C-alpha cells in the first residue's frame, strides 16, 4: 500500500515508522521547505517503546503522484486541515483519506474540500512527542480506531487491509461502525484535560491533585457529554467523569499538546475542542459556562505569545 502522510509532526512521524515497519511504502508530505530538506537528508529518529531506529522515507513538498497513492493520512493540526485538504484536491487526489486528528470537524472539512475523497475518520490514543524536528518519541501505547464517514466508501476489503497493515506494524488498530461517537468521545476527554493543563502549566496528573481543577474538569466533561447526548452520539464509557480521571492517571506524566503549544507560543486547537462544544451548545440552546470560560482564557493566553 502506498501511503502519503501529510504533516510530519509527532503523530505523523510515529505512524510513518510503524507503517514502514509493516511493509507499506510511506511518503511524508510537508509544506515547510527547510524541514522537508532535513527529513529527506537525514531521515528521522524513531524512538519507540520496543525499538530505537533511524527511519528514512521519501519526503515531498506537496502531494506528488496522486494516481499512485492508495491512502492519504492527514496528521496536521486541526487549524491546518482546510489548507491541507485544499492542497490534496489541487494535486488531483480523490481516493481514501484518513484523519486521526484531534478535535471536531476535520472529516467534514476534508469532505468539503475534496468532494471525491472517501473519508475515513477516527481517533488514536497513541502518545508521541517531538524531541526535535526529526526525532519522535513514542510516549505511550494506545488504541487506533476508525471507520468510513460514508458507509461503503471505501469498501470493507480496503479497510480490512488497512487494519491488518497497521497491526502488522505494531499499531493496535480496529474498525468502528460509529466514528463520530469515537471523535466526540475523545473531544470530551481532551476538553476536560488539555485546556486546564495549558492554563495551569502542569502535567496531566496534577489535575487530580488540585481540588478546584479536578471539579472544574468534571464540569467541562459533563457539558461536553450533554452535547454528545443531544446530538445522538454515544460516549464510549458509562461514567465519563471517571473515565477522564482514569485517563489523567494513565497519562499522569504527559504534557498535553495544548500545554506544549502554549509553552512554545504556538496556536492551539482550542476552537476544535472546547470551542467546538461551545458552538454546539449555542446551536442546541443549552448553557455551557465552563467550556466557554476556558476557551476564552486560552485565547487570552495565546494573545500573549510565548512566555519569557
| pLDDT interval class at 308 (50, 70, 90) | low
**What's the pLDDT at 141?**
84
Mean pLDDT of the chain: 94
Q: CA-to-CA distance for 196 and 256, rounded, in angstroms? A: 10
Of 77, 143, 186, 231, the catalytic one is 186
Separation between Cα atoms, residue 159 and residue 118, nearest integer Å: 11
Lowest mean pLDDT among 5-9, 45-49, 170-174, 267-271: 45-49
Residue range 157-175, pLDDT digits in tens: 999 999 999 999 999 999 9
pLDDT above 90 coverage of the chain, percent: 86
Which residue matches cell numbers 497491526?
167
Q: Indicate the pLDDT class of residue 258, thresholds 50, 70 and 90.
A: very high
42 band by pLDDT with thresholds 50, 70 and 90: very high
Contacts of 266 (CB under 8 A, 6+ apart): 260
Distances (CA, A) of 151 to 8, 54, 147, 173: 29, 38, 9, 19
Q: Give pTM, 2 decimals.
A: 0.92
> Beta partners for 146?
122, 175
Active-site residue, 143 included: no
| Bigger pLDDT: 49 vs 10 | 10
Domains of the chain: 2-177 (3.40.50.720), 180-304 (1.10.1040.10)
As a whole number of angstroms, the distance between CA 21 and CA 54 comes to: 12
* Average pLDDT of span 163-192: 95
Asked if the model's pLDDT at residue 75 lies above 70, the reply is yes
pLDDT per residue as tens digits for the range 205-257: 999 999 999 999 999 999 999 999 999 998 878 899 999 999 999 888 888 99
Is residue 307 predicted with pLDDT exceeding 80? Answer: no
**Mean pLDDT calculated for residue range 101-108:** 94
Instruction: Say if CB 178 and CB 206 are below 8 A apart.
Output: no
Nearest of 133, 175, 171, 125 to residue 18 by alpha carbon: 171
Residue 251: predicted pLDDT? 86
Residue 73 pLDDT more than 80?
yes
Written as one string, the DSSP assignment of the chain is -EEEEE--SHHHHHHHHHHHHTT-EEEEEES-HHHHHHHHHH-EEEE-SS-EEEE---EEES---GGG-SEEEE-S-GGGHHHHHHHHHHTT--SEEEE--SSSSHHHHHHHHSTT-EEEEEEE--EEEEEETTEEEEEE--EEEEEESBTTBS-HHHHHHHHHHHHHHT-EEEE-S-HHHHHHHHHHHHHHHHHHHHHHT--GGGGGTSHHHHHHHHHHHHHHHHHHHHTT---SSS-HHHHHHHHHHHTTT---HHHHHHHTT---SGGGTHHHHHHHHHHHT---HHHHHHHHHHHHHHHH-S--
Amino acid at each position: 500500500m502506498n501511503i502519503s502522510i501529510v504533516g510530519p509532526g509527532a503523530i505523523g512521524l510515529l505512524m510513518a515508522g510503524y507503517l514502514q515497519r509493516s511493509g507499506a511504502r510511506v511518503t511524508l508530505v510537508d509544506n515547510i521547505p527547510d524541514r522537508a530538506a532535513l527529513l529527506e537528508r537525514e531521515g528521522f529518529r524513531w524512538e519507540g517503546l520496543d525499538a530505537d531506529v533511524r527511519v528514512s522515507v521519501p519526503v515531498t513538498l506537496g502531494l506528488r503522484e496522486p494516481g499512485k497513492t492508495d491512502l492519504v493520512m492527514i496528521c496536521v493540526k486541526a487549524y491546518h486541515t482546510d489548507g491541507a485538504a485544499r492542497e490534496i484536491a489541487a494535486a488531483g487526489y480523490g481516493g481514501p483519506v484518513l484523519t486521526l486528528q484531534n478535535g471536531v470537524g476535520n472529516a467534514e472539512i476534508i469532505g468539503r474540500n475534496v468532494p471525491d475523497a472517501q473519508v475515513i475518520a477516527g481517533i488514536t490514543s497513541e502518545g508521541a512527542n517531538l524531541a526535535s524536528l526529526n526525532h519522535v518519541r513514542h510516549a505511550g501505547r494506545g488504541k487506533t480506531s476508525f471507520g468510513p464517514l460514508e458507509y461503503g466508501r471505501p469498501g470493507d476489503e480496503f479497510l480490512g487491509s488497512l487494519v491488518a497493515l497497521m497491526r502488522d506494524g505494531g499499531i493496535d488498530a480496529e474498525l468502528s461502525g460509529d466514528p463520530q461517537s469515537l471523535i466526540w468521545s475523545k473531544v470530551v476527554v481532551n476538553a476536560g484535560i488539555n485546556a486546564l493543563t495549558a492554563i495551569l502549566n502542569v502535567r496531566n496528573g496534577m489535575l487530580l491533585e488540585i481540588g478546584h481543577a479536578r471539579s472544574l474538569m468534571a464540569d467541562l466533561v459533563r457539558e461536553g457529554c450533554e452535547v454528545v447526548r443531544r446530538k445522538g452520539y454515544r460516549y464510549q464509557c458509562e461514567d465519563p467523569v471517571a473515565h477522564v480521571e482514569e485517563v489523567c492517571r494513565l497519562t499522569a506524566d504527559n504534557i498535553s499538546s495544548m500545554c506544549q503549544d502554549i509553552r512554545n507560543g504556538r496556536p492551539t486547537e482550542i476552537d476544535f475542542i472546547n470551542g467546538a462544544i461551545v458552538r454546539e451548545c449555542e446551536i442546541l440552546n443549552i448553557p455551557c459556562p465552563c467550556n466557554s470560560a476556558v476557551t476564552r482564557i486560552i485565547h487570552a493566553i495565546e494573545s500573549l505569545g510565548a512566555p519569557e
